[in-house]
C-alpha cells in the first residue's frame, strides 16, 4: 500500500506523462516507503531527477530536493526529452527472492506481459541476493526495464547484487513485442542454454554479469552468454555514456559456448564489455567458444567505438607521442571491449557477414593491454565475410588513438580467409598498448589466405599498423590472396622506436594470386628476413620500402637474415618502381645477411630503383654483413638493373661482395648499376669484390664500379 501511495502521489505531482524507463531512484524511495510508510515527496523528487538523467546523454546526477512547481516543470522537460512513448509506466517492485509467488521476479514479468501493447513496465528490486529458478521465467513480450540497480546495497558502477540462477532452466528471453527493453545490473547464470536471448530490437544490456555469480566467479550458462537472433537489431550491449576509460559495462564470461553471438542481427553496438575474463580484466574466465561470433550475414555492427579521450582525466590517447616528438600518453579507449581468454577466437566474423567494424578493442591482453590473456585461437578471424574493418584512427588523428590491440593469442592476431575488401588501419599486432611490451601472437601478427581479394592493411600516415613480436611473421599472405596492399606497416619494430622482432620474417608472401603491393613499409629488426617472397609468389611489387634500418633510414636496425629474400619458385615480381612517399626508394641495408638474395628456383624477377648497403640518402654506408646481392641456387632469368634506367640500383658499402652469382645460376642479368659508388657517383666501396660470377650465361653489363672495384668472373 505504501508503494502504491508513493506512486499515486508521484503521478499527481505532475508526472503522469513521464516515460517508462527513467525512475530508478523511485525504486529506492519505494523500498524505504515499504519499510516506513514515509518519504513520498522525496520519491517524487528523486524520480524526476532520475528520469532527467536517464533521458540525457550525460552522466546520472544525484537526487535533489525540489518544490512542487519545480517537480512539475522537471517532469514536463523529462517527458519531452524521452525517446519512448509518453505513457505512464507500470512500476512493479520485486520483494521476494523466491522462484515464484507474490513479489517474485516471475510475478513481475507476468504482470508486465499482461500490459497492453505499447505500454511499458519498470521492474525494481527491494531485495538483493540470488533468485534460484525452479522453472524457466516467462518470455518477455512487452517493453520492460529490469533494473536491479535499484536493489539495496547496489553501488553505482559496481557489480550486480541481484542474481538469476537459472538452475539448468532456460535463460532470460526478450521475445517479440519487447522492443526497447533493458536489463540492468543483473547476473544471469547456470542456464541450460543461452543466458540471455534477444528476439526483440533496441534492447539495452549494461551493468550485467552473464556467466558469473555475484562474487565474480564463473558460473556459466550452458549455451552462449548472449544470443542475438535475426529478428533483433540495433541493440546496445554495454554502455559508457560518460566515456570514462576503464569503465566496465558487462562481464560476459565463463559460458560453455560463445560469449556473444550475433546471428543475422544488424546495427548493434557492443561497448565497454569484458568478454572471457574476470571483472578486473586480469585473468581468464573463458567462454568455451569465441568471445564474439558474428555470423549469418550480420551487418553494420560496431564492436567498440572511436572515443579516445578519458572524460575523467581529460587525457587523450597518444601512444606514439606525436610520432616520437613528445612524451606518449596511454589511455585505454573508453568504448573498446576487452575480449581475451576465450577458448577459441576472440572475434569470429563469418557466414557472409559484412560492414562490421572493430574500434578500440584489446583482444588477447589484460585490461591495460600490456600483458597476455590469450584467446586460444586467433584474435580476430574473418572467414568468408567481405567488407569488414579494424580501424584505429582516422586520417585527421594522431596514429593509433583508438587502436585495436591484438596480442598474446594462441594462433594469429588477425586472420583473413577468403574474405574480400577487408580494411585494417591503425592497430597493434603482437605488442602491448604501451608501444613497448612484446605480447606476441603465437603465429603471425596478420595472416591473409584463401582467395581473399583487395585486403588493405594500412594507408597513408597515420593509418599504418604495427605487427611485431609475433611467433612467426609480422604479416603472411598465402594461397591465392590477391589485391593485397600493406602500406606504412612497422614490421618487426615498435612504432617510431626500436626492435620488437618477429621470430621469422617481417613480411612473408607465398601467394600466387598476383597484384599484391608492398608500399612504404619498414620491415626491420626481425629474427629472419625483412621481406620474403617464397613458394609460388608472383605478381608482387615491392616499392618503396625499408628493410634493415630505422624509420628515418639513417641507422641500422638489422634483420637477422636478408633484407629481401626471393626464393622457392617465386617469379615475375617487381622490386622497385616509381611510387614515392616519405621513403624515396627501396633501401635494403644494415642486415645480418645480404641486402637482397635471390635463390632456389626463383625466376623472372626484376630489381631496380633500390639502394643496397647504404643509408636512405645513398651517401653513407650501412653495410649488409654478408654482402649486397646474392643470386644462388638454380635461380634463372632474374634482372638486377634494367637497361632503360641508369643507375638502376645502388649496391655499395656492403661488408662482402657487391654482387655474387653462384654456380648453378643461369641467364641472370646485372646491368647498369652503381656498384661501390654513392648516389652522387663518389666512391663508397664494398669490402669484397664488385661482382663475383660463378654461374652460366649470366650477363654483367653497363655497370659503374667504385674506386676499389675488383671484378671476378669465370
CA dihedral 222, 223, 225, 226 (to 10 degrees): -150
Of 562, 561, 635, 580, nearest to 602 by C-alpha is 635
- Comparison of pLDDT for 711 and 389, the residue scoring more: 389
On whether the CB atoms of residues 669 and 642 are closer than 8 A, the answer is no
CB distance 52 to 85 below 8 Å: no
- What is the grid cell recorded at 709? 672495384
With residue 43 as reference, give the H or E element that holds it: helix 40-54
CA distance 684 to 674: 10
pLDDT in tens, 393-451: 999 999 999 999 999 999 999 999 999 999 999 999 999 999 999 999 999 999 999 99
Residue with cell 641495408: 589
Burial of 4 (0-12, 13-18, 19+ CB in 10 A): exposed
Q: What b/e string do you get for 319-355 counting C-beta neighbours within 10 Å, with b at 16 or more? A: bbbeeeeeebbbbbbbbbbbbbbbbbbbbbbbbebbb
The stretch 350-377 carries a mean pLDDT of 98
Cell numbers linked to 2:
505504501
Element (H, E) at 304: strand 302-304
Say how far apart CA 687 and CA 188 lie, in whole Å. 71
With cut-offs at 50, 70 and 90, classify the pLDDT of residue 118: confident
Res 10 pLDDT > 80: no
Cα separation, 86 vs 349, whole angstroms: 39
As a whole number of Å, the CA-based R_g of the chain is 31
Q: What is the DSSP letter of 708?
A: T
Q: Which stretch, 9-23, 551-565, 695-709, has highest mean pLDDT? A: 551-565
* DSSP character at residue 365: B
Q: What is the pLDDT of residues 60-115, one digit of tens each?
A: 333 332 333 333 333 334 333 333 444 567 999 999 999 999 999 999 999 999 99
Distance CA 442, CA 409 (A): 6
Half-sphere exposure of 527 (CA within 13 A, CB side): 12
Instruction: Check residue 277 and report its DSSP letter.
Output: B
d(CA 47, CA 40): 11
Least confident of 24-33, 139-148, 216-225: 24-33
What's the pLDDT score for residue 711?
Answer: 59
Q: How far apart are CA 83 and CA 167, in angstroms?
A: 36
Q: Which of 365, 470, 489 is nearest to 426 (CA)?
A: 489
Residue with cell 663475383: 692
Q: Residue 123 has which C-alpha cell?
A: 521492474
Overall average pLDDT of the 499-519 stretch: 98
Distance of CA 247 to the CA centre of its chain: 18
Element (H, E) at 348: strand 347-350
pLDDT for position 710 = 57
149-159 tens-digit pLDDT: 999 999 999 99
Contacts of 646 (CB under 8 A, 6+ apart): 672, 702
What confidence tier does 194 reach under pLDDT thresholds 50, 70, 90? very high
**Residue with more model confidence, 18 or 640:** 640
Place of cell 513485442: 177
Percentage with pLDDT > 70 across the chain: 87
What is the per-residue pLDDT for 324? 87
**pLDDT recorded at residue 87:** 56
- pLDDT tens by residue, 251-302: 999 999 999 999 999 999 999 999 999 999 999 999 999 999 999 999 999 9
pLDDT, tens digit, 9 for 90 and up, residues 667-691:
999 999 999 999 999 999 999 999 9
Q: For position 73, what pLDDT does the model report?
A: 39
Question: What's CA 327's distance to the chain center, in Å?
Answer: 24
Mean pLDDT within 483-502 = 98
The helix (run of H) or strand (run of E) holding residue 321 is: helix 321-324
pLDDT, tens digit, for every residue of 207-223?
Answer: 999 999 999 999 999 99
Quickly list H helices, 94-151: 105-113
Residues ≥6 apart with Cβ < 8 Å to 4: none
List C-alpha distances in Å: 79 to 51, 72, 92, 304, 416.
9, 11, 20, 30, 48
Which residue in 9, 53, 45, 8 sits closest to 28, CA to CA? 45
Mean pLDDT of the residues in the chain:
90
Spatial CA neighbour of 403 closest among 446, 369, 367: 369
635 contacts 667 by C-beta, under 8 angstroms: no
Find the range with the poorest average confidence among 149-153, 488-492, 656-660, 706-710: 706-710
What is the CB-side half-sphere exposure of residue 519 using CA atoms within 13 A? 21
For residue 478, what pLDDT band results from cuts at 50, 70 and 90? very high
- Domain spans, the chain: 2-81, 101-289
Report the pLDDT averaged over residues 359-371: 98
Other Cβ atoms less than 10 A from the Cβ of 421: the count is 16
Residues 576, 578, 581, CA angle at the centre, nearest 5°?
A: 100
Contact 595, 548 (CB under 8 A): yes
Place of cell 634463372: 636
* Cα angle 495-501-506, degrees, rounded to a multiple of 5: 80
Task: Please say if the pLDDT value at position 124 is more than 70.
Answer: yes
Number of Cβ within a 10 Å radius of residue 41: 17
At 526, list the grid cell.
626481425
Average pLDDT over residues 601-606: 98
As a whole number, mean pLDDT of residues 542-571 equals 98
- Strand, coil or helix: 209: strand
pLDDT value of residue 23: 40
Q: Which residues, 6+ apart, have CB-to-CB distance to 221 below 8 Å?
A: 166, 171, 188, 189, 190, 191, 193, 194, 195, 210, 211, 255, 256
Amino acid at each position: 500500500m505504501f508503494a502504491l501511495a508513493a506512486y499515486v502521489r508521484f503521478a499527481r505531482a505532475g508526472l503522469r506523462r513521464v516515460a517508462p524507463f527513467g525512475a530508478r531512484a523511485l525504486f529506492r524511495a519505494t523500498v524505504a516507503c515499504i519499510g516506513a510508510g514515509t518519504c513520498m515527496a522525496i520519491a517524487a523528487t528523486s524520480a524526476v531527477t532520475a528520469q532527467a538523467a536517464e533521458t540525457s546523454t550525460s552522466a546520472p546526477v544525484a537526487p535533489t530536493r525540489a518544490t512542487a512547481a519545480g517537480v512539475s516543470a522537471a517532469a514536463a522537460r523529462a517527458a519531452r526529452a524521452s525517446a519512448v512513448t509518453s505513457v505512464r509506466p507500470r512500476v512493479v517492485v520485486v520483494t521476494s527472492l523466491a522462484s515464484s509467488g507474490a513479489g517474485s521476479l516471475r510475478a513481475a514479468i507476468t504482470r508486465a506481459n499482461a500490459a497492453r501493447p505499447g505500454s511499458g513496465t519498470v521492474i525494481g528490486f527491494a531485495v538483493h541476493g540470488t533468485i534460484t529458478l525452479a522453472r524457466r521465467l516467462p518470455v518477455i513480450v512487452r517493453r520492460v526495464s529490469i533494473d536491479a540497480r535499484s536493489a539495496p546495497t547496489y553501488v553505482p558502477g559496481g557489480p550486480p547484487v541481484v542474481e538469476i540462477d537459472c538452475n539448468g532452466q532456460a535463460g532470460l528471453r526478450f521475445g517479440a513485442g519487447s522492443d526497447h527493453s533493458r536489463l540492468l545490473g543483473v547476473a544471469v547464470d547456470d542456464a541450460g542454454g543461452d543466458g540471455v536471448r534477444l528476439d526483440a530490437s533496441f534492447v539495452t544490456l549494461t551493468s550485467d554479469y552473464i556467466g558469473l555469480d555475484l562474487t565474480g566467479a564463473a558460473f556459466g550458462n550452458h549455451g552462449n552468454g548472449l544470443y542475438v537472433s535475426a529478428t533483433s537489431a540495433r541493440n546496445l550491449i554495454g554502455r559508457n555514456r560518460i566515456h570514462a576509460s576503464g569503465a566496465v559495462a558487462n562481464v560476459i564470461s565463463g559460458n560453455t559456448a560463445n560469449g556473444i553471438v550475433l546471428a543475422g542481427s544488424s546495427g548493434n553496438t557492443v561497448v565497454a564489455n569484458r568478454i572471457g575474463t574476470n571483472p578486473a580484466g586480469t585473468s581468464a574466465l573463458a567462454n568455451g567458444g569465441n568471445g564474439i561470433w558474428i555470423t549469418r550475414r550480420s551487418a553494420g555492427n560496431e564492436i567498440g567505438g572511436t572515443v579516445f579521450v578519458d572524460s575523467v582525466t581529460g587525457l587523450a590517447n597518444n601512444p606514439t607521442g606525436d610520432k616520437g616528438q613528445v612524451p606518449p600518453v596511454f589511455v585505454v579507449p573508453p568504448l573498446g571491449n576487452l575480449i581475451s581468454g576465450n577458448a577459441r577466437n576472440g572475434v569470429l566474423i563469418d557466414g557472409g557477414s559484412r560492414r562490421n567494424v572493430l574500434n578500440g578493442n584489446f583482444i588477447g591482453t589484460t585490461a591495460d593491454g600490456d600483458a597476455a590473456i590469450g584467446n586460444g585461437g586467433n584474435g580476430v578471424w574473418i572467414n568468408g565475410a567481405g567488407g569488414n574493418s579494424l580501424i584505429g584512427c582516422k586520417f585527421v588523428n594522431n596514429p593509433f588513438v583508438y587502436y585495436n590491440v591484438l596480442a598474446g593469442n594462441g594462433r594469429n592476431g588477425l586472420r583473413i580467409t577468403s574474405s574480400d575488401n577487408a580494411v585494417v588501419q591503425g592497430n597493434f599486432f603482437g605488442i602491448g598498448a604501451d608501444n613497448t611490451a612484446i605480447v606476441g601472437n603465437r603465429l603471425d601478427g596478420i595472416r591473409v589466405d584463401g582467395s581473399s581479394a583487395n585486403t588493405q592493411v594500412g594507408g597513408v600516415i597515420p593509418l599504418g599498423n604495427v605487427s611485431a613480436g609475433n611467433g612467426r611473421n609480422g604479416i603472411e599472405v598465402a594461397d591465392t590472396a590477391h589485391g593485397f596492399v600493406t602500406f606504412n606497416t612497422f614490421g618487426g619494430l615498435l612504432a617510431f622506436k626500436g626492435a620488437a622482432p618477429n621470430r621469422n620474417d617481417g613480411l612473408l608472401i607465398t601467394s600466387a594470386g598476383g597484384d599484391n603491393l608492398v608500399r612504404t613499409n619498414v620491415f626491420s629488426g626481425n629474427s629472419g628476413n625483412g621481406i620474403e617472397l617464397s613458394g609460388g609468389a608472383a605478381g608482387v611489387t615491392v616499392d618503396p620500402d625499408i628493410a634493415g634500418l630505422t624509420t628515418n633510414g639513417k641507422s641500422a636496425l638489422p634483420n637477422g637474415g636478408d633484407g629481401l629474400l626471393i626464393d622457392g619458385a617465386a617469379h615475375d615480381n617487381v622490386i622497385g618502381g616509381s611510387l614515392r612517399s616519405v621513403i624515396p626508394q627501396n633501401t635494403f641495408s644494415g642486415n645480418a645477411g645480404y641486402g637482397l638474395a635471390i635463390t632456389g628456383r626463383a625466376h623472372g624477377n626484376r630489381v631496380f630503383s633500390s639502394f643496397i648497403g647504404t643509408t636512405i640518402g645513398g651517401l653513407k654506408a650501412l653495410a649488409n654483413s654478408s654482402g649486397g646481392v646474392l643470386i644462388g641456387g638454380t635461380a634463372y632469368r632474374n634482372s638486377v638493373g634494367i637497361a632503360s634506367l641508369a643507375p638502376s640500383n645502388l649496391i655499395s658499402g656492403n661488408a662482402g661482395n657487391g654482387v655474387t652469382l653462384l654456380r648453378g645460376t643461369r641467364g641472370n642479368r646485372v646491368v647498369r648499376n652503381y656498384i661501390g659508388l654513392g648516389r652522387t657517383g663518389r666512391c663508397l666501396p664494398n669490402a669484397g669484390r664488385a661482382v663475383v660470377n660463378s654461374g652460366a650465361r649470366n650477363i654483367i653489363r653497363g655497370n659503374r664500379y667504385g674506386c676499389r672495384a675488383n671484378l671476378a668472373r669465370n
